[in-house]
Amino acid sequence: MEMAGLTKSLEKEHTMTEPTKLVVRYAGGKILKGYTQSFYPNKPTFLLIPFSEMPDSQALQVHMKDLKALFFVRDFEGSPSYDERKHFLEDKSPIGRKVEVAFKDGEVLVGTTVGYDPLRTGFFLYPADGKSNNLRVFVVTTAVRKVRFL
């Protein structure tokens, strides 16, 4: 399918359901922000509509093999001054296994997961800090240095 056809198809889907806000972080450091309705963890690619030009922008094809992680966010600006908590509150009982993920680039995320398997493309992580701008993160396994269960 041509890119124009893919964009048209995505635009049609866009009218049926709410698009997901996504920050795409590449293994090499590049960052893209946009919307998607075509991400599936088991697919090698998905389409991203850049948010800065929404809704007239052309969809970009993103290849999972090039990524570090996908951040499903509340908003694109976030709060740069907010210091995200890297531990769990004692009075909260999280769903899933508590985990610390250390990326090859040095970044560390703490949260829970219900589907970690080092043989898969990636897994979802839900941040330990409920006030985080990240609702969930799809961690790409090839970008991870170490996963430690807490």
* Whether pLDDT at 11 is above 80: no
Can you give the residue ranges of every domain in the chain? 1-84+113-142
Q: What is the pLDDT of residue 121?
A: 95
Q: Give CA torsion, residues 69, 44, 14, 16, to 10 deg.
A: -110
Beta carbons of 60 and 32 less than 8 angstroms apart:
yes
Mean pLDDT over 87-112 rounds to 90
Q: What is the pTM of this model?
A: 0.83
Q: What is the pLDDT of residue 93?
A: 76
The kind and range of the H/E element at 8 are helix 3-14
Neighbouring residues of 126: CB distance < 8 A, sequence distance ≥ 6: 94, 95, 96, 111, 112, 113, 135, 136, 137
* Whether pLDDT at 88 is above 80: yes
Cis preceding-peptide flag for 44 (omega within 30 of 0): no
Return the CATH number of the domain spanning residue range 1-84+113-142: 2.30.30
pLDDT tens-digit map of 26-55: 999 999 999 999 899 999 999 998 987 556
